[in-house]
Amino acid sequence: DAGITQSPRHKVTETGTPVTLRCHQTENHRYMYWYRQDPGHGLRLIHYSYGVKDTDKGEVSDGYSVSRSKTEDFLLTLESATSSQTSVYFCAISSPSGSSGDTQYFGPGTRLTVL
């Protein structure tokens, strides 16, 4: 447990509405990630952050934006939700694990349904 929480845990929204998902960590890790998980596609990277105000796009970033104004919070925003964004969203952090690399710890996930 790396002290990662996500809110909300479940959300149902309508097409065209904005949605913001929050990821909060308590251990001051530099790297944070947003992934989505879909049947048939597995887990894919949406956006990531390597520090406050430092973010970059991942594999499936279209339709999403992110912000990181504090080390502990990484926000994912769907500016205008579409049904194709119905998914389970996982936040993760990267924690150094000695000389061999970083271990990733995942939040509990947010199930988003766009009607």
Partner 1 sequence: KNEVEQSPQNLTAQEGEFITINCSYSVGISALHWLQQHPGGGIVSLFMLSSGKKKHGRLIATINIQEKHSSLHITASHPRDSAVYICAVTLDGSARQLTFGSGTQLTVLP
- Residues of this chain that bind partner 1 (CB under 8 A): 31, 33, 35, 42-45, 48, 50, 56, 58, 90, 92, 94, 97, 100-109
Shorter beta-carbon distance to partner 1: residue 16 or 51: 51
State the nearest-atom distance from the C-beta of 104 to partner 1, in Å. 6
Shorter beta-carbon distance to partner 1: residue 14 or 27: 27
How big is the CA angle at 84 (ends 24 and 109), to the nearest 5 degrees?
25
Token pair of 77, please? 């925003």
State the nearest-atom distance from the C-beta of 82 to partner 1, in Å. 23
DSSP state of 80: S
Shorter beta-carbon distance to partner 1: residue 18 or 51: 51
The structure tokens 């990181």 sit at: 68
State the nearest-atom distance from the C-beta of 26 to partner 1, in Å. 16
**Rounded-to-integer distance, Cα 45 and Cα 34, Å:** 6
CA distances in angstroms from 59 to 24, 35, 48, listed in the order given: 22, 10, 10
State the nearest-atom distance from the C-beta of 103 to partner 1, in Å. 5
Residue type, 9: R
Shorter beta-carbon distance to partner 1: residue 31 or 77: 31
